[in-house]
Amino acid sequence: MKPRTATLLCAALLAAAPVHAEHASPAELANNTAAPLVAGREYMVLANHPNNLSVIDLADNTVLKTCALPDAYGPGLLQISPDHRQAWLLNNRFGSIYGVELDSCNVIFSANMSLAADERTKSVLSLAISPDGKEIYTVQNPSRIYVDRYEVQQPRLAVYDTASGLDAKPVRTFPMPRQLSVMQTGADGTLYVAGPDVYKVDVKTGKYEVAMPILNWNRPGYGAPDVLNAWPVQTITREFAFLYTAPKFKDDKQDIASADFVWGIMSIDLRTGAVSVADFAPLTEVYFTGIRSPKNPNHLFTVLNVLRKYDIKEQKLLASADVGHAYYQASVNHDGSRVYLSGTLHDIAVFDAETLEKITTIPLPGGDQATNTAQVFIR
Amino acid sequence: MNNKPIACATLTALALVASAPGDAAERQINVPNLIMERCSICHADDLGRLVRISAQRKTPEGWLMTVVRMQQQHDLGLSDDERRALVKYLADTQGLAPAETEGARYVLERRLNTVENFSSEQFTQMCARCHSGARVALQRRTATEWERLVNFHLSQFPTLEYQALGRDRDWFGIATNEIVPYLAKNFAYGDEQWQKWKQTPRAPVAGEWSLSGHLPGRGDFNAVMSVSQRANDHYALELRGNYADGGALIGQGAAVVYTGYEWRGKVEINGVEMRQVFALKGDILEGRMFVADHDEVGADVLAARQDGGASRVLAVQPSYLKTGTATELSIIGSNFDGELVLPAGIKVEKLLSRTPGRIVIRALADKRALGTHQVKVGAAEGGELAVFDKLDRIEVVPPYAIARVGGNGGPAPKVDARFEALAWAKGPRGEYRVGYVPAKWSVAPFNEDAKRDRDVEFAGSIDAKTGVFTPSFAGPNPLRHLMTNNAGNLAVIAEISAGGKPLTAQGQLIVTVQRWNNPPIP
């Protein structure tokens, strides 16, 4: 199972060779950076090469504005503040976090993940914001750089005050286990961090416990699942969701060779902390992301090389659409009428959520999106 | 002197051998002083003793990668001459004994179609999932050094533990607690073999060498390689010979012998720059010679020293005779002395020429000679000569190969794949190898996916006569489903006619994307 998935994922990632469209000139970017967002309107925000942040008006599927971001691109992972006024980004080759005012494009916050001169620190896709918007969280993976060697250090949860401005330092740090990545906050302020399992973390004390097992799920009749989650989507359904693939054994012998491999979705309800796990399809192709419809959360949209719509309970494929090129992330709008595909290359594809008919393609200023994270919100 | 750190060049462009006679400056450099001056700034302990460097042993390419990394990532200033001198010194003083490279030389020889197979699944998944396992097997380190290498890996490549086959386990814990002891045991610094090798007298190199080889896509060749010493371990080369197809093979260049046996040559043959990666084993040189910027184009080479070396038979070209068909054969060897003796049933119709390294005859075989034989010249015996009356089957060699798209304005050139048809015959004692035979080549979809995606149309084309597959251009192809690259999964089909009956065989070719990271040891 693992090698099979790995091969497919590698192939797909490599297929996304950066192709740069004509970049918007700095003058063009400057013209629209001051365009304010309008209360009540629905937007999508995402980042792409060379280092842009674009706001898309979902009412007419046009790019409202494009901000130029500081330093280097990558991964363009983005979270929207609870008041929908700021975008928070992990960028600069996984090395810095930025806060950007969407109305003005002004950078209001920056923090280098390395906290000392003899440290090299990366945050691997790890960024969340508190429900009150006052704190951001990231898990940092430091290495100490000695004059003639490196020494891997224990990861740490770093808590930043969003009002700290530029060159911010964490207000609290706590030791954490390894291999942590995407995270989201619950309504009560609990921080959920994905790693080998999903942990719930008390951001005041740093204490953590397993909220939802992944590798250690010990699900009867199943082998350990594999989860690739590089897209911490702030879902309209308020869930922290993970697509998994897992071997489903034929019998108690747990023979991997005869097992069926399945796709499923496991998630934590961020309002209640409740956990749900459900298979939805046999594993016949690779998806990078899946997102539930806010209109009918039993309906799931998945994407990589094809867009699919599933009925989770019935484990039934409802509709499919060719996508023209690979996309990594599926998003939905608030009324559940549209599906937006982003990630890789430099466009967003828009589909009718009911029929999966293609509505339009929104070209993005700039180049490849790589593994960015798009977020949809109403200002 | 250019003391600036070098830019991120393709590392294979960094030759271990300077163009003759540009190595004069290299030989003037006092390397111990250079090490004290440049390396010990970071790599000395409180008592001024070298650390890290002194606890590792590796190949010339291994040291080259280390030194270049110091230049690229740690601002080490070195001129090209200084780099070559430093690598030479380190490979000579902290290298590997010949026996320590056995089983892993394919990666030095850049046989990149090798499918590795290690007994430890854990080693394969932990180490050989990103680079060749041979890269590990060609290093010797203390346990502390292996542990530092693990820390280096995760510090340089922090996403290692998140990738598939990383995130399913406690990667760092396993690397530290299981892989480090495994490596320290299996690839220990322990220098018994090395000390023994250091005391072994060095084989002489200068003089004439008789050389035989086989280049897939072109065929057999033989040559005389004249080697003259320019300085200790530095040699000038001249090659004069012929391909079996009648073409001349003429070249010249230079070679450096590292560690007493690691022969690295840079020669221009018929206007094409080639590299030689040979191992010197007494009066024998064995390895591969390949095009410098297309290492998929390369020949197996076996050579024997004429001056002072033994009398040897190295090869018979071609390696087979069909009964009843008079065929010109070249017997390649060294210091031929005495009568050519062929097995019963093979008649020398005519002696066409004879030198101390090459005997050319026209031979005719009958059924008494069916099977495989060695050839004797005086006291020397060797080579392989098969006699057949009917071919039984063929196989595609290599059975599995990789080609890579390239060009199209990008920095990576296309990487070809080269196939040959290896013929077998049946005898009373079972099946025997006949040799490479001309075949008609074609490609077909390997499976249903390849058929649906029209891989045959997009991925490239094979030369029906030579078996050389040339891949298509790099980058997304708007004409393809999902705008995908010109990748493909192809069946490579060889067909010959054996006594009016067609024989076919199939191999597999994966046409894939460019190799962006192409270090001297992949």
> What tens digit of pLDDT does each residue of A302-311 get?
999 999 999 9
Count the neighbouring beta carbons within 10 Å of the beta carbon of residue B301.
24
Whether residues A178 and B155 touch (CB distance < 8 A) is answered with: no
B52 in A contact zone (CB under 8 Å): yes
B56/B190 Cα distance (integer angstroms): 10
What are the tens digits of pLDDT across the range B68-82?
Answer: 999 999 999 999 999
What are the tens digits of pLDDT across the range A264-286?
Answer: 999 999 999 999 999 999 999 99
What pLDDT score does A22 carry? 43
Q: Measured between alpha carbons, how far is residue B375 from residues B222, B314, B319, B358 in Å?
A: 17, 9, 11, 13
* Interface list for B 384-413 with A (CB within 8 A): none
| B26 or A173, greater pLDDT | A173
What are the tens digits of pLDDT across the range A324-339?
Answer: 999 999 999 999 999 9
What pLDDT score does B18 carry? 74
Asked if A317 and A308 count as a contact pair (C-beta separation under 8 A), the reply is yes
| B425 or B20, greater pLDDT | B425
Whether residues B171 and A178 touch (CB distance < 8 A) is answered with: yes
Q: How far is CA B30 from the centre of its chain?
A: 32
- Angle between the B60-74 and B80-93 helix axes, to the nearest 10 degrees? 140
- Cα maximum dimension of chain A: 66
The CATH architecture annotation of domain B207-305 reads: Beta Barrel (2.40)
| B222 or A20, greater pLDDT | B222
The fourth-level CATH superfamily of domain B393-512 is Immunoglobulins (2.60.40.10)
Residue extents of the structural domains in chain B:
11-96, 101-137+143-187, 207-305, 325-388, 393-512
B224/B241 Cα distance (integer angstroms): 6
What are the tens digits of pLDDT across the range A101-113?
Answer: 999 999 999 999 9
Give A224's contacts in chain B (Cβ within 8 Å).
168
Residue B148 makes CB contacts below 8 A (sequence gap 6+) with: A149, A150, B52
- pLDDT above 60: residue A20: no
Asked if A245 and A225 count as a contact pair (C-beta separation under 8 A), the reply is yes
Percentage of chain A modeled with pLDDT above 70? 92
Asked if B380 and B429 count as a contact pair (C-beta separation under 8 A), the reply is no
A17: closest CA of chain B, how far (Å): 7
Residue A13 makes CB contacts below 8 A (sequence gap 6+) with: none
What pLDDT score does B522 carry? 95
What pLDDT score does B302 carry? 98
What are the tens digits of pLDDT across the range A179-220?
Answer: 999 999 999 999 999 999 999 999 999 999 999 999 999 999
- pLDDT above 50: residue B200: yes
Asked if B370 and B389 count as a contact pair (C-beta separation under 8 A), the reply is yes
Q: Which of B52, B166, B475 sits opposite A17 (nearest CB)?
A: B475
Count the neighbouring beta carbons within 10 Å of the beta carbon of residue A173.
14
Q: pLDDT band at residue A23, thresholds of 50, 70 and 90? A: very low
Whether residues B51 and A324 touch (CB distance < 8 A) is answered with: no
Q: pLDDT band at residue A31, thresholds of 50, 70 and 90? A: low
B324/A195 Cα distance (integer angstroms): 72
Give A181's contacts in chain B (Cβ within 8 Å).
162
Percentage of chain B modeled with pLDDT above 90? 90
Asked if B38 and B78 count as a contact pair (C-beta separation under 8 A), the reply is yes
A256 in B contact zone (CB under 8 Å): no
What pLDDT score does B423 carry? 98
Q: Which of A94, A148, A224 sits opposite B168 (nearest CB)?
A: A224
A131: closest CA of chain B, how far (Å): 28
A118 in B contact zone (CB under 8 Å): no
What pLDDT score does A159 carry? 98
Span B344-366, average pLDDT: 97
DSSP code for B92: H
Q: pLDDT band at residue A124, thresholds of 50, 70 and 90? A: very high
- pLDDT above 50: residue A1: no
- pLDDT above 70: residue A263: yes
B76/B62 Cα distance (integer angstroms): 17
- pLDDT above 80: residue B53: yes
Residue B281, SS3? Answer: strand
What pLDDT score does A85 carry? 98
Count the neighbouring beta carbons within 10 Å of the beta carbon of residue A248.
16
Q: How far is CA B63 from the centre of its chain?
A: 18
What strands lie across the sheet with A42-48, from one edge to the other? A62-68, A52-57, A42-48, A375-378
> Could you tell me how many residues make up chain A?
379
A270: closest CA among A187, A358, A151?
A: A187
* Interface list for A 175-204 with B (CB within 8 A): 178-179, 181, 196
List the structure tokens of B69: 């990394």
Lowest mean pLDDT of A17-21, B317-321, B333-337, B507-511, name the range: A17-21
Q: Which residues pair with A322 in a beta bridge?
A: A306
Span A166-190, average pLDDT: 98
Do B207-305 and B325-388 fold alike per CATH?
A: no
Span B391-409, average pLDDT: 97
A181/A192 Cα distance (integer angstroms): 10
- pLDDT above 80: residue B4: no
B49, B55, B57, B60 alpha-carbon torsion, rounded to 10°: -50
Q: Which residues pair with B470 in a beta bridge?
A: B461
ipTM: 0.91
Nearest CA in chain A to B172: A178
For B259-345, where are the E strands, in sequence order? Answer: 262-269, 272-281, 284-291, 294-305, 312-317, 320-322, 327-334, 340-341
Give A3's contacts in chain B (Cβ within 8 Å).
164-165
- pLDDT above 80: residue B468: yes
Span A20-44, average pLDDT: 72
List the structure tokens of A119: 């440290």
The CATH number that domain B325-388 falls under is 2.60.40.10
What pLDDT score does A17 carry? 34
